[in-house]
Amino acid sequence: MDITREGPAIGIDLGTTNSCVAVVEGNQVTIIHNDQGKFTTPSCIAFTESERLFGEAAKNQAPRNPTNTITDAKRLIGMRFSDPTVQSDIKFWPFRVVAGPKDRPMITVQYQGREMHYFAEEISSMILMKMRQIAEEYLGCPVTNAVITVPAYFNDSQRQATKDAGAIAGLNILRLTNEPTAAAIAYGFGQNDCSRRMKTVLVFDLGGGTVDVSLLIINKGRFEVKATAGDTHLGGEDFDNRMVDYFVEEFKMKHRLDISSNFRALRRLRTACESAKCSLSTAFEAQIHVDVLYEGIDFHSKISRVKFEELNKDLFEKCIDPVGICLKDANVDKESIDDVVLVGGSSRIPKVQMLLQDFFNGKELCKRIHPDEAIAYGAALEAAKLNGNACDQVWEKMQDLVLVDVTPLSLGVQVEDGEMFVIVPRNTPIPTKKEKAFTTYHDNQTTVSIKVYEGERPATFDNNLLGQFKLSGIRRAPRGIPRIIECFEIDENGILTVSAEDTSTQHKEKITITNDKGRLSKKEIDKMMREAEKHKAEDDKYRRRIKAKYQLENYIYEMNNAMVRVNFPPKDRTKIEDAIKRAMRWLERNQQAEPSAFERKLKELETLWNPLTLVG
Q: What are the catalytic residues?
A: 13, 74, 179, 205
Concatenating the DSSP letter of every residue in 54-91 gives: EHHHHHHTTTTSGGGEE--GGGTTT--TTSHHHHHHHT
Residue among 400, 396, 422 at smallest CA distance from 409? 422
Distances, alpha carbon 357 to alpha carbons 278, 315, 569, in Å: 20, 17, 35
Single-letter residue type at 42: P
- SS3 category, 339: strand
Distances, alpha carbon 338 to alpha carbons 197, 216, 359, 377, 487, in Å: 11, 11, 14, 22, 38
Residue among 411, 464, 462 at smallest CA distance from 80? 464
- Which residues, including other chains, have CB under 8 Å from residue 376's CB and lie 6 or more apart? 11, 12, 13, 20, 21, 22, 31, 149, 182
- Which residues, including other chains, have CB under 8 Å from residue 589's CB and lie 6 or more apart? none
3-state secondary structure 204-256: EEECCCCEEEEEEEEECCEEEEEEEEEECCCCHHHHHHHHHHHHHHHHHHHHC
Q: Kindly state the helix (H) or strand (E) to which residue 114 belongs, with its residue range.
A: strand 114-119
- Which residues, including other chains, have CB under 8 Å from residue 244's CB and lie 6 or more apart? 92, 266, 269, 270, 273
CA-to-CA distance for 321 and 229, rounded, in angstroms?
9
CA-to-CA distance for 155 and 495, rounded, in angstroms?
9
CB atoms near residue 325 (< 10 Å)? 14
Residue among 85, 32, 339, 345 at smallest CA distance from 206? 345
Cβ–Cβ under 8 Å, residues 266 and 260: yes
